[in-house]
Structure formats: C-alpha cells, structure tokens
A and B are shown apart, each in its own frame.
Chain A
Amino acid sequence: MSIYVARSPWPVFYHRWRLYLNTWRGTVFSSFLLPVMFLLGLGVSVGSYVDDRVLGMPYANFIAPGVLASTAFQVAINEAAWPVLGGFKWVRTYHAMRASPLRPVDMAVGEILWIWLRAGTSAAGFLVVLTLFGIVRSPVALLTVPAVLLLAVASCTPVLAYSASIRTDNWFSFLFRFAVIPMTLFAGVFFPVEQLPLVPRWVAYASPLWHGVELCRAATLGTPTAIGWLGHAAYLALWAVVGYLLAAHRFTRRLTD
C-alpha cells in the first residue's frame, strides 16, 4: 500500500490545467449553465405541482443544494473517467510522466487536486447563482464548498482506481448505468430518500452522493442532517481514504510491468 509521501503532484495538475485552457468553454456549459437551467426548469415546472408545505420550503429551494452536489459529483466522476483511461491507453500521458521522477501516486494525487479545482469552482459558481436567486441567504452556505470537496474526493478516488484497471471505455457505460445514474436519481437530490422503499433507500444511504447532498442542504438551507454533519463527513472521509489507497495501488500496478 502506498501512503503518500509529499513529492510533487503539481506538474500533473499543471498538465491538466494546460489541457483545460483548450476546452474550458464547453465545460462552462455542461458543469454550470446546464445545471442552472435544470434547476430553474424543474423548480418551476415540478415545483408548481408540489405543495410548499410538504417539504417545508419551495421545491426549487429543496433541489438547489442537491443539484449543486450532484453536479460536482458528475464533474468529479467524469474527470476521473475518460481522461484517466486515455492517459494510460490512448494519449499515454502517464507513461510519459513515468519516465520522469514522478511516481504513480504523484499522478493520482495530481488528478485529485485537479478534480478538486473543477468540482470546487463549479460549486462556487452555482452558489453565486443561488445567492442571486435568493435561495441562499446566510454566509454559512460557504461551508458548501468544503462539503463539495469532500464529496468530490470520496467519489473520484474509486473511479480513478476503476479507470486505472479497465482496458476499454465500454466499462464506463457499466459504471454509469449501475452506479452514477441510480445514485443521481435516488440519493436525495430530487426527493427525500425517506420516500424510497427499504432496499433502494439503503442503497442511497450507502452512496457518497446522499451524504454530500445532506451536507450541502444543511449548509445552504440550515436543515437538520440525518446523522449529524460529523457523521456524514466521516462517512465521506472513509470513502476518500479507501478510494485513495485503491487508486494509488491501481496506478502503480498499471504503470509497473
């Protein structure tokens, strides 16, 4: 098991940043404008059928932190999927890095730092929009950012390990069909998980997204969390640590033959 000894992940981060300069316009749409449109669309349309008294607040307010969290979740997973498999298989970036003093763990950590930037900025941008719409009123909402960073690292590290283990991108459709999409639909983004039957409810409880949504909702709306913010944070930290160890191991294996 490789425990990280600080060397330097920054060149790896810089590589991703440099590539991002070529493509950032597309991501502004997918990780910012699209979720905002989503929020407005659902908030107005579905919101008009939902009685405010059911949730104790307008429907748009209820889903806003959920959409924020699930956007960061999607960004984290996407960034840990195709670009990472490509780095091993198509562009072979990691093989190029391997010839330098960088170690596979540096590469994994560099990717995590990069994903933090992407998830963090998308959350921050979203937060500004929520403030403009008056959904967010208290500075406590800034705690959404660390919550999102925790959610991002908890969800990207297992995917980094997954991407470092597969040989073709067909495996991503498997990942999305059976993990990412169900989590997005059932992890409390659009309706409280208490409304789910027992089995899917426990699946939601197990998923990192639900814990992230709970934290974000508590930070933006001041709602009570299911198991206390410390409990949610600890659960996400557990995913992050296990995910990181797996990712470090898989990166090292893939780059050592």
Chain B
Amino acid sequence: MADEPLIHARGLVKRFPARGRRGTEFTAVDGIDVDVYPGESFGFLGPNGAGKSSTMRMIGCVSPPSGGTLRILGMDPLRDGPRIRARLGVCPQQDSLDPELTVAENLTVYAGYFGIPRSVAKARAAELLEFVQLSERATDQVEPLSGGMKRRLTIARALVNEPDLVLLDEPTTGLDPQARHLVWERLFRLKQRGVTLVLTTHYMDEAEQLCDRLVVMDGGRIVAEGSPRSLIAEHSTREVLELRFANDSLDALAGKLAGIGERIEVLPDRILVYTDDGDDAAGEVHRRALAPTSVLVRRSTLEDVFLKLTGRTLVD
C-alpha cells in the first residue's frame, strides 16, 4: 500500500483549443510519465511556459487531461475530482487570498469549503499561523501583507485540510531572497514531517534544496529525471569555470579556449568551461594569455544540467 504512487501519470497530455479563428491548437504538456510516492518531495523544474502549471492543474483535478492516463491517490480525476481534492492542499501560482477578510479568516472560511467544522477550523488556523510565523497578524487585513507573508499564508491555507499531498506552484517566485529562505525553511519542516510535496520552480537552487527527486521540463516534455545530485553527475562535470572578458566577441575567444575542459558554453555575457578541475583549467587560461576580467570556479548546478540538455538558461 505504501508503495502505491500518489500520482501516477503515463503519456499525460494537455492541449488547449485554438483561440480565435486563426489560432492553432496548443500542446502545453506533451506526453509525460510521472510517479510520485508517499513521503517524497518531488519537483518540476523548467523555464516559463514549460507546462509546469498545466501539469499541476491536471494533478489538482481542475483541468481535465487531453490524453494519457492520470491517477491521483489511486483515483480517477475525472470521476472522483471532489473526493481527490478533499485530500489535496494547493498553493496556486496566482494569488487567491481574500483581501477583504482577515489573515485568520482566510484560513477558517477556506476550511469551510472542505466541510471542516468552525471550531476545528479555528484551532487549526491558530496552529498553522504559528507554523508560518504569522500569529501576530491573525486579525489584520490581508491587503497590506508583504509578498512573502501572503505566500506563507497561502501555504498555511493549503494545509488546513491536513492534506495527503501538497501541490506548490512556484512557491517563491517574485519573493526577495530573505522571504524565499523563510518559505524554504517552512517547506523543509513539512518535508521532515513526512508530508508529500510536489512543487514547480524555475529556480535551480530551490529544486536542489527541496526536492528528493525532480524532472526537468522543457516545451511540455520531460528531458531528464533523477535526484538533483544524480542529474548533475550524469549531465555535467564536477566543476565549472566562469570567465568574463572585457572584449565582447566571446565566440572568437571560445575558439582560443578549445581543448580546455570537457565542454564550453558561450552565454551572452560569459563563457562557461565544464571541467572536473576548475583551478587547473583556470591555470591553462592564464597560460594562453587570454586575460579574462573575472574568473570564478564553482560547482555544477541544475542550471548547468538544463543548459546542457536544452541549450538555454532557466531564468533569463
């Protein structure tokens, strides 16, 4: 029983009908296979328009699949939508808090949608506000809260029905670094408690910190799957040498770097040299008298995996 996946998708497709008379049908999710098991923290990593939200809405049983099979909590989303949604917690990409209600009421009124009795809802709201560190704001209006606070409130709201599966669509997009860290820390706590998390992100550091396992999505397809570490080991080198030059014809310089490291990527503002020994490669650059304005040796990240697999950067 414990081994049965909470999410099981095979060849899952989402097509949107053509808009207007001359529009064409659009395939946002193009045949993906996904299994998420209890207690896992699973991520969809991909750039804008990769199809992450479209996938999440199908998993959340608010958007019917156009093809393939999908089972959530062992049930069929088309037939058992309300029963499945009763056991999901959803933190949507687009804010849907009620600005005319107080912070606590946003939780208790929402709990009502799940048929949770008022007294239970109140107790749970107090607990959850404590958890997301918003207790002092319980009776305040939602409107003046900062972006990070609103996001934490939305996360608390997603937990009000004690869900078996929590769906977080870009939980930290648009937040400043400090607010992001606070959200990560709370999500990490949830993960430690054994809550099954599914999140989407286009931040590779977020994926690395929070996901046990992830898929990299691009153009509606899955281009790689694994743990953050195994993905890096499989698709990138141990280290990366980042070089910046005063000269702007980076393509010409790349030619002069040939033979250093295993692979070279030219970005608009810098050149990346993939190598298992960054310092050694940097020494070679100096020996060739190429005079970069800045030299940085760092570890490979999921960003590098994405660049290798798609030829593009995640965040532009």
Interface residues of A, Cβ cutoff 8 Å to B: 7-8, 10-12, 14-15, 18-19, 22, 91-93, 95-103, 255-257
A99 touches B92 (CB 8 A): yes
CA distance A10 to B118 in the complex (A): 13
By a CB distance below 8 angstroms, the chain B residues around A8 are: 115
10 A-B pairs closest in CB distance? A100-B113, A92-B96, A101-B82, A11-B112, A96-B96, A99-B90, A101-B86, A11-B113, A95-B96, A98-B62
CA distance A99 to B95 in the complex (A): 13
By a CB distance below 8 angstroms, the chain A residues around B86 are: 100-101
Cross-chain contact of A7 among B82, B112, B161 (Cβ < 8 A): B82
B96 touches A93 (CB 8 A): yes
Answer yes or no: B152 CB below 8 A from chain A CBs. no
Q: Give 1 or 0 for each of B103-124: 1 = CB within 8 Å of chain A CB.
A: 0010001101111000000000
Chain B minimum-CB-distance residue to A100: B113
A92 touches B95 (CB 8 A): yes
By a CB distance below 8 angstroms, the chain A residues around B115 are: 8, 11, 101
By a CB distance below 8 angstroms, the chain A residues around B81 are: 103
B83 touches A101 (CB 8 A): yes
By a CB distance below 8 angstroms, the chain A residues around B94 are: 92, 95
B64 touches A256 (CB 8 A): yes
CA distance A257 to B53 in the complex (A): 12
Answer yes or no: B208 CB below 8 A from chain A CBs. no
A100 touches B99 (CB 8 A): no
A99 touches B62 (CB 8 A): yes
A102 touches B63 (CB 8 A): no
Interface residues of B, Cβ cutoff 8 Å to A: 16, 57, 60, 62-64, 81-83, 85-86, 88, 90, 92, 94-101, 105, 109-110, 112-115, 158, 161
From residue A211, how far is it (CB to closest CB) to chain B in Å? 35
Ordered by A's residue number, 27 sampled pairs between the chains whose C-beta atoms are within 8 Å are A10-B112, A11-B113, A12-B113, A14-B109, A15-B109, A15-B112, A18-B101, A91-B96, A91-B99, A92-B96, A95-B92, A96-B97, A96-B98, A97-B113, A99-B88, A99-B158, A100-B85, A100-B113, A100-B161, A101-B83, A101-B85, A101-B114, A103-B82, A256-B62, A256-B63, A257-B16, A257-B62
By a CB distance below 8 angstroms, the chain B residues around A14 are: 109, 112
B90 touches A91 (CB 8 A): no
New A-B pairs, 12, CB < 8 Å, besides A91-B100, A100-B86: A11-B109, A11-B112, A91-B98, A96-B96, A97-B113, A99-B85, A99-B92, A101-B113, A103-B82, A255-B62, A256-B64, A257-B62
CA distance A133 to B85 in the complex (A): 54
By a CB distance below 8 angstroms, the chain A residues around B62 are: 98-99, 255-257
From residue A165, how far is it (CB to closest CB) to chain B in Å? 15
A102 touches B99 (CB 8 A): no
By a CB distance below 8 angstroms, the chain B residues around A10 are: 112
From residue B214, how far is it (CB to closest CB) to chain A in Å? 23
CA distance A97 to B109 in the complex (A): 10
By a CB distance below 8 angstroms, the chain A residues around B98 are: 15, 19, 91, 93, 96
By a CB distance below 8 angstroms, the chain A residues around B88 are: 99
By a CB distance below 8 angstroms, the chain A residues around B92 are: 95-96, 99
CA distance A257 to B101 in the complex (A): 28
From residue B36, how far is it (CB to closest CB) to chain A in Å? 18
Chain A minimum-CB-distance residue to B89: A99
A99 touches B60 (CB 8 A): yes
From residue B210, how far is it (CB to closest CB) to chain A in Å? 21
From residue A204, how far is it (CB to closest CB) to chain B in Å? 38
By a CB distance below 8 angstroms, the chain A residues around B110 are: 96, 100
By a CB distance below 8 angstroms, the chain A residues around B158 are: 99
Chain A minimum-CB-distance residue to B14: A257
From residue B280, how far is it (CB to closest CB) to chain A in Å? 52
From residue B79, how far is it (CB to closest CB) to chain A in Å? 13
By a CB distance below 8 angstroms, the chain A residues around B99 are: 91
